[in-house]
Structure 1
Amino acid sequence: MKAKLQEMNQVLTRVVELLDDDTLLVVLGDHGMDKRGDHGGDGELETSSGLWLYSKGHAFTSPDSLSKQLRAQGYYPDVTFPGHSQPSPSIQQIDIVPTIALLLGLPIPLNNLGTVIPDAFDFNLPNNEPALAKAMSLNVDQVNRYLHEYRRSTSSGELDPVWDELQSSFKAATGEVNLEQSVILKSNYTRLALQQCRALWAQFNVVRMGLGLLVLIVSVPSVWVFYRAVASQQDSCELIIRDTLRAGAFGGAAGVGIGVLLLWISKIIWPLPLSTFESALGGASFTSASTIIYLLSPGLIKRHTRKISLGAIVLVMHAAGFASNSFVMWEDRIVLYLFMTLLVPLTISGINAPTAHLRKRILGFGALAAVCVRLMASSTVCREEQQPYCRVTFYASAGASAAPLWALALALPVAWFLPTAIRRVLSISGSDNGIAPSFATLVVRPALLGSALWWSLERFEGTDIMGGETAAPAIRALRTFIARTVLLGVATGGSVLWYTSGPCIALQRTTDETGKPILAVLGFANAYGSSYLLFFLLAFSLAHVVSQLTAQLVLGLFLLALLGYLEVLDSTRDARSLRDEFEKLSSGSDATPQEMSAALDRLTSGANPPRSGPSFDSAAALCLLGNVAFFATGHQAVLSTIQWKSAFVGFPTLTYPFSPALVGLNTFGGFILSALAVPLLALWNLDPAPGSEDRAVRDTLRVALGVVLYRSVELVGSAITAAWLRRHLMVWKVFAPRFMLGGVVLLLTDVFIILGVWLGASQSLVKVQRTFKKET
């Protein structure tokens, strides 16, 4: 530190030597630091920093200057810092803007509430008028104009309680008095305006924040006990859902009265800054969640094991990391390693798979998912705080908004190849039958090619390659036609085709080992999952069309990684079940002869063994995959990375409500797709054997609750840190935006899980039931 200070002193010495006489040198720090090195907090030493003004042509330290006299009289307060006995002159950081503006001959920005630094105006103007008096007059007029503009805005009522006091101070400041008294009154007015506005803006309602945090925190155990109750399989899923909804409804109704009653009592003892509606809503939310916990927790405590899943450890690490601003800044890199933490052990377990076929599948698809996610993470946009250690790869350059040339070259080939890859994965389970080939060829491929073509034309619109500005209107009309065709074709034609078609199966005549003719059902083992995958591809195509070229490649990798992960999960479940079957046969357990015979038949016939339900690890991995997709598609937890271009996909001008919806789909597409993929984890390679419908419903609910639990803990972690660090220097650049992102993501996750289950999964089950004539 000593060497660095000496180096900076040498730099300043050199700058002063080269300084012109009419130049002002301003040296200041953005924040301070205490003796322990802490900075960015709300301590006095941390929020204060040094300021040095120097000019060869103007002295700031004249002992008989007006500013010195006023400071000596106590009108400009000095500050005694901790550990010092002598006070030091002090100003507000906001005062620098009006001071520099007037010294440069510029008007003070309208929305600035600072007061000019009096020491900088200790000279006379050419007409012998004191510069400080003129500067203060301009300062007062600007502040008064801002207050009137603010009062005419939608926030007009905020200033009503103090408006008379402000106007009285303004009249006094603009009255006929001597120079010294005029400067004092003008300074009092600008400081009063700053004080009143700061009281309105720079305050936190701790009671409301605490109530919100309490509701968020109590929601986590309520979701957890619900998840554990579904996973335990002790009671029927229908019974658990019914009892949970009933308990939540009764608890919420009682909580409304409790919240209002507590508010009424608090008005007598200690009034709380809450409205009746806020108290009722908070009480209903808290009591509803508490009732669910009370209902479901007793049985779970008895059955709960002490084994902690890897997904839970990753979740705790993710949520705890929000307490560090460095973690939030570099979250785009960290979520990649968190996902790999879940994927790699699962893939390595394939080495011990009981059959060579399963070993190849687990290792192969695990490697595919790992490579795809790693390639996704190579697409980056940089936050301001990441510089100079970050390089933009999503765009052609750091200052550009167009895709790089390599993305332009790969977009169309990848759009053509992706449906082929989907069919190849479906063919593993024999599900590339029925509507699947036509759907991939006639719906998905044209949609992906059309969206890639739209963004390719947008990349070169107006350039000489495409005919310059002369051809721009025709190209813009062509792009609008392409985008609308894709959007309407997928949203209407693709949806109707999927809804009216049957499952992805086909009948094939063959013979058994004895030569007896039999009728085989191709795709039977994945009838549920393959049908829902086609529904998922509709949403994928819509997200694809609003994504820029680099993001389209990322979404393609996302889809391949998702399919690879699904195959890894299915294969590891098969391997675990076969291993259990083999141990049952070899150990001579207490199984009945019928169970031993059935296990032997499954081992020798290659049939799918009984499989366990999806674990929390898979739900955590799905959430992290959505996080990776969000960052890799050119976004960060800051508003500056919103891609406004997507608002004009299919619309030449800003069109409500479609433009905001398109921007939202572009921004949150990764999270939306991960939420819609929830039923895939439950339905993939689940054959429609007797009783499979109940299993499908339970597993889908289990994964959905696991994903909601992960997103809830993620939100709680960011909310607690944002509230705790509300006085931190980086709260509005780092912690608060991440909390707001977490809230939106949780809401979207809830909504699209419901839509996926209601519109997609339920219809997939109905298709299978109708095809095999099962009773619902």
Structure 2
Amino acid sequence: MDIDTNPPTDGNKSSARIQQQSRTRLRQQKLRYTFIGYIIVLCFLAITQFIGVGFFTKGFLLSRHVLPNIAECVDNSCMRPAKYDKAIFLVIDALRFDFTIPVAGSTEYYHNNFPILYDLAQKENGLLLKFIADPPTTTLQRLKGLTTGSLPTFIDAGSNFNGDHIDEDNWLLQLRRANKTIAFMGDDTWTALFDDYIDPQMNFPYDSLNVWDLHTVDNGVIEHLYPLIQKENSTQWDLLVGHFLGVDHVGHRYGPRHFSMKEKLNQMNEVLEHVVSNLDDDTLLVVIGDHGMDSTGNHGGDAPDELESTLFMYSKSGKFLKKDESAYDVSNEGRNYRSVNQIDLVPTISLLLGLPIPYNNLGFPVDEAFSSHEEILTASYNTLKQLKTFRDNTPNLAHTLLEQFDTLIQHYHDKTYSEQDILLMAKEYQYLSLEQCKSLWARFDLRLIGIGLGILFLALTFMITYSRSIPAVRVSTMSFEFIGSVIAMTMLGLVLSFSIYIVLKPTDFTIWNCLAIGTALGMVIGFWAPIMDRFSINFLWNQIIDFFMYNFNSWSFMGIVFVIAHCLIFASNSYVVWEDKMVSFFLLTFGIGSIYNCAVNTELSRPARILGLSHAITFTIMTRLASMINLCREEQRPYCEATFKTTWWSVLLLHVISYILPMFIASFYKLSDSYHSAAPLWIGTGLSFLLFMNAVYWTFEYVQNSEYFNNMNLIIGIPLIKSLKLAIARLVLFITLVLANFSWSRGPLCVKLELKEENSDESDVSDEAETPGKTATILGYGNVYGSSYFLLVLNFTVAIMLTTKPIGAVSISMLIIQILSLLELSDILAIRKNLISPIIFGLLGYQHFFSTGHQATIPSIQWELGFMTTETIFMPFTHLNIVLNTFGPFIIVSLAIPLITLWRIVPSNKPITVLSQIITNVTTLITYHLFTGLSSLLFAAHFRRHLMVWKIFAPRFMLSGLLIIMLNLFLIVVTLWFGTGRILTQINRIFGK
């Protein structure tokens, strides 16, 4: 922009200035009111979506109804006298079964380094079995099953990081009722569950979720365990529980193939040697793993490596009745080894300690845990009676399997069959009972599911109308009509729903459900009422047709195809499993289409075609490279090879990126002559420094975890490295999320005022003076919105790159280049107002979600990165790290979506029009995620009886639900309120005409 610096001679200069200032203030005030109106409408729409997701989730993830009864020893149902007076119960978290057996020829760190269990099991007083967990394999859910004998439903896994006091009968409660003393040390999940039963003088819990801490919990357990098992102290307790976490934490942090796994297993071997040497004759030693771990060290699903754990029993005076040797075959890593279900431990340990079997138990005693066939028959008989009592008091079970039970009990009394046959029939009865219970608890509340889907569908219909179909709907006056109508209809809905609840008093529908439905329906009616009042049906239909007639082209068609195809992915479990490849295919299709369009588009000038081709090729190459970074799901093997690994070269790449990424970004800024003022400071200095600090952090992390460096006497000790890492992580996050954002809010502009003696002929100047004379040129005027706003995107990008593992940070760097290339293409190909642009942004979020080491599975959540800035769980910092890590790509995309409108445009004297187009793109992105989310929820409900529902469809719908919530919140609060509002207001105030 050129400004004539010769003073005007008009005598009315002062009056003109006053009028200009008045018009500017009026325009700013109108912009502010319009902006507030949009924000409020989007908040109402977000609340409607949240209610829909909440209803669906409540109907899909049902909690199991627990019987409150407490079992008692009646009719000789307990085995008295107890076989063992005391027990030591040690849990080695994530002790996968093949960690404990000899594996010939293996050089893996997790093999052949924990031999004591297998060696002792070769004696008649030792027993080692494969212990099969019930999915999902999260610690709290497993502890419930191990103590109650029940099968907690899928939703119980969500309480794993929250603590949840147990509310049903369990064998620790039975011990307490028998006046036994329980001592505990280790994972504080036990305290959350069983605090009422543990002796407060012998209760030593430790924080369980800092998976980067390998030793604190284990060392604490050892510190309190060793003194208590000494002979002089053994009379203080009847049950001693110790829960070690080191093996699990090594898996989460490094995976099972790390040298730390060998050290940890060796330590556990030494602990067991010490415990066995101090064990007295009346004490039963039980060592278990609560679950296993997959090849990445994670768990939570139902892969064999996650389910196969360990059960070990030992007693100096006891004897275990084992089966033939073929049942304990350790060849092929124990694939054919004898296995038992985890819930089978509950009746087993209860009967061995002379306790009643917990009332809700569904398991069956382990044969080998008893010393004679007579004991086994007695144990199985008592368990059958307990199962029958449970079934008699459970709705829908009381009148089933009656004939089988009566016949079986008759066989016990008559002994018409051999002991082995009777035992097999008893196991068959228990299996049928268990399967019936699983079927009963797998029931879904179809009413709540239907309500949730209906509310989301209504929200989607309005979002489509609001975002694209009827531009007249989004005018400022309509926004305030929406607000008044929504508030009025919502109040009416609340009153009506409350009245209906009071009159009908439904027993199976809470008042909160009624009020939520009234709120959602009131909002939907409130949205549509002003539209229907102002526009007729025919007008609306004609507007929709006109929109498609005048805005529909090949790019729009491509965008619609991508949305439809993405929604249809959820109709097949195979496509859901390979969603990462499907998303990459969509993006590559767009990239190739852009290359073709730039090559053949004759309307473009030669320089524009060359520039467009370079951006299209850059976008396509980055997309292809990003698709090569992946973390394989279990279902993708053996057709997928994981490349998401922390290696020396990935850490080296971070140092390279700290140098070349600012250069790439600067080159894009220079294309629009915007690399001035704040840009060199933000990009050339700040970004480079912070990326270098990120690289230093992960260098320290790699050194700390490297076997080579750990075997050397480093000048910088490990404790010092740990302190430096904490300092770097805290510094980077403070600068990027607080200091840099505060500075950005003060208004850095990437422009430069250049004085010239004559007119400039530069092509990037927006306005040129037509008369000779001294002029001032504003460099960067043609991209003043976009260049300034993109600095905000960089602030969050650096924070997200820190909380992402090195190869994931490389992926985020590619995302930034893809976004910049896409913005340039949107300008060159004139698709900034096209449907395709926000859809490609949405697809980019998904691609980099997968390429940063995530999948729609519970085990892929990188919990360990929550402890980058804290050593213990500290709200909100631990949670913030996990959110940035998991949703980082979606956050970057959501923050960058206004750039579709703002990139490469001059300051407008109609800022409301600019804001309206930004709202169009924001709501289009929300609509895209609503489409995919609603499809995911719909097919999850349709396949609720599918074999893969809890492994594939349920985790995917939960990801969709979280994305709907997270994106709405971030887009409204950060992207619009903090970002777009400030940039439009500031530039309108500075350059307003």
TM over 0.5, shorter chain: yes
**Does the 8 Å CA contact 1:95/1:116 hold for their aligned counterparts?**
no
Deviation at 1:499, TM superposition (A): 2.2
Aligned to 2:731: 485
The match for 2:655 among 412, 422, 430 is: 412
Structure 1 residue matching 2:777: 3-state secondary structure = strand
Give me the whole-angstrom Cα distance separating, in 2, the residues matched to 1:349 and 1:244: 41
**Does the 8 Å CA contact 2:940/2:957 hold for their aligned counterparts?**
yes
**Does the 8 Å CA contact 1:311/1:342 hold for their aligned counterparts?**
no
Residue type at the aligned position of 2:946: H
Aligned to 1:448: 691
Asked if residue 681 in structure 1 is aligned to residue 900 in structure 2, the reply is yes
The match for 2:944 among 726, 751, 757 is: 726
Residue type at the aligned position of 1:679: P
**1:419/1:99 CA distance change after superposition, 3 Å:** closer
Deviation at 1:559, TM superposition (A): 0.2
Deviation at 1:99, TM superposition (A): 7.8
**1:200/1:263 CA distance change after superposition, 3 Å:** farther
Aligned to 1:253: 491
Aligned to 1:386: 636
Deviation at 1:671, TM superposition (A): 1.1
**1:526/1:194 CA distance change after superposition, 3 Å:** same
Give me the whole-angstrom Cα distance separating, in 1, the residues matched to 2:438 and 2:699: 49
Aligned to 1:560: 817
Aligned to 1:569: 826
**1:419/1:263 CA distance change after superposition, 3 Å:** same
**Does the 8 Å CA contact 1:96/1:114 hold for their aligned counterparts?**
no
**Does the 8 Å CA contact 1:140/1:189 hold for their aligned counterparts?**
no
**1:107/1:679 CA distance change after superposition, 3 Å:** farther
Aligned to 2:521: 286
**Does the 8 Å CA contact 1:125/1:131 hold for their aligned counterparts?**
yes
Aligned to 2:668: 425
Structure 2 residue matching 1:640: 3-state secondary structure = coil
The match for 1:311 among 548, 555, 559 is: 559
Aligned to 1:180: 413
Deviation at 1:405, TM superposition (A): 2.9
Give me the whole-angstrom Cα distance separating, in 2, the residues matched to 1:128 and 1:480: 59
Residue type at the aligned position of 2:448: R
**1:103/1:761 CA distance change after superposition, 3 Å:** closer
Deviation at 1:116, TM superposition (A): 4.5
Deviation at 1:107, TM superposition (A): 8.9
Give me the whole-angstrom Cα distance separating, in 2, the residues matched to 1:110 and 1:423: 67
Aligned to 1:542: 799
Structure 1 window deviating more from structure 2 (456-465 vs 548-557): it is 456-465
Give me the whole-angstrom Cα distance separating, in 1, the residues matched to 2:880 and 2:788: 27
Deviation at 1:562, TM superposition (A): 0.4
Aligned to 1:360: 610
Structure 2 residue matching 1:129: 3-state secondary structure = helix
**Does the 8 Å CA contact 2:869/2:877 hold for their aligned counterparts?**
no
Give me the whole-angstrom Cα distance separating, in 1, the residues matched to 2:826 and 2:817: 14
Give me the whole-angstrom Cα distance separating, in 1, the residues matched to 2:789 and 2:874: 32
**Does the 8 Å CA contact 1:503/1:531 hold for their aligned counterparts?**
yes
Aligned to 1:207: 447
Residue type at the aligned position of 1:465: F
Give me the whole-angstrom Cα distance separating, in 1, the residues matched to 2:414 and 2:957: 48
Q: Which runs of 5+ in 1 are unaligned?
A: 1-21, 31-54, 59-93, 148-158, 396-402, 574-611
Give me the whole-angstrom Cα distance separating, in 2, the residues matched to 1:126 and 1:534: 73
Aligned to 2:709: 465
**Does the 8 Å CA contact 1:228/1:300 hold for their aligned counterparts?**
no
Structure 1 residue matching 2:898: 3-state secondary structure = helix
Deviation at 1:193, TM superposition (A): 8.2
Deviation at 1:369, TM superposition (A): 1.1
Report the number of matched residues: 617
1:72-91, Cα deviation, whole Å (9 max, x unpaired): xxxxxxxxxxxxxxxxxxxx
Deviation at 1:252, TM superposition (A): 2.5
Aligned to 1:437: 680
**Does the 8 Å CA contact 2:460/2:931 hold for their aligned counterparts?**
yes
**1:313/1:257 CA distance change after superposition, 3 Å:** farther
Residue type at the aligned position of 1:531: S
Give me the whole-angstrom Cα distance separating, in 2, the residues matched to 1:256 and 1:327: 41
Residue type at the aligned position of 1:520: T
1:222-254, Cα deviation, whole Å (9 max, x unpaired): 10111135xx54466312322333333333233
1:334-375, Cα deviation, whole Å (9 max, x unpaired): 011122333433442223143112111221111111111111
Give me the whole-angstrom Cα distance separating, in 2, the residues matched to 1:412 and 1:627: 26
Residue type at the aligned position of 2:478: I
The match for 2:923 among 694, 698, 705 is: 705
Give me the whole-angstrom Cα distance separating, in 1, the residues matched to 2:371 and 2:686: 77
**1:314/1:219 CA distance change after superposition, 3 Å:** same
**1:110/1:345 CA distance change after superposition, 3 Å:** farther
Give me the whole-angstrom Cα distance separating, in 1, the residues matched to 2:394 and 2:342: 28
Matches of residues 253-272 of structure 1 in structure 2 within 5 Å?
253-260=491-498
Deviation at 1:446, TM superposition (A): 1.5
The match for 2:380 among 135, 148, 152 is: 135
Higher relative contact order (CA 8 A, sep 6+): 2
**1:103/1:111 CA distance change after superposition, 3 Å:** closer
TM-score of the superposition, structure 2-length normalised?
Answer: 0.56
Aligned to 1:522: 779
**Does the 8 Å CA contact 2:826/2:832 hold for their aligned counterparts?**
no
Deviation at 1:272, TM superposition (A): 7.5
**1:653/1:181 CA distance change after superposition, 3 Å:** farther
Give me the whole-angstrom Cα distance separating, in 2, the residues matched to 1:733 and 1:533: 39
Structure 1 residue matching 2:674: 3-state secondary structure = coil
1:140-191, Cα deviation, whole Å (9 max, x unpaired): 77999xx9xxxxxxxxxxx9988xx99xx9xx99xx9994389899999968
Asked if residue 508 in structure 1 is aligned to residue 754 in structure 2, the reply is yes
Asked if residue 634 in structure 1 is aligned to residue 878 in structure 2, the reply is no
Residue type at the aligned position of 1:472: I
Give me the whole-angstrom Cα distance separating, in 2, the residues matched to 1:742 and 1:126: 53
Deviation at 1:283, TM superposition (A): 2.9
Aligned to 1:742: 960
Aligned to 1:220: 460
**Does the 8 Å CA contact 1:207/1:273 hold for their aligned counterparts?**
no
Give me the whole-angstrom Cα distance separating, in 2, the residues matched to 1:134 and 1:278: 46
Asked if residue 533 in structure 1 is aligned to residue 777 in structure 2, the reply is no
Aligned to 1:371: 621
Give me the whole-angstrom Cα distance separating, in 1, the residues matched to 2:916 and 2:954: 36
Q: Which runs of 5+ in 2 are unaligned?
A: 1-123, 125-129, 135-322, 327-338, 416-421, 762-770
TM-score of the superposition, structure 1-length normalised?
Answer: 0.71
Give me the whole-angstrom Cα distance separating, in 2, the residues matched to 1:365 and 1:727: 47
**1:130/1:453 CA distance change after superposition, 3 Å:** closer
**Does the 8 Å CA contact 1:259/1:280 hold for their aligned counterparts?**
yes
1:304-358, Cα deviation, whole Å (9 max, x unpaired): 2255632122111111220100111000110111223334334422231431121
**Does the 8 Å CA contact 2:619/2:817 hold for their aligned counterparts?**
yes
**Does the 8 Å CA contact 1:679/1:761 hold for their aligned counterparts?**
yes
Aligned to 2:743: 497
Root-mean-square deviation (CA, aligned residues, Å) is 4.3
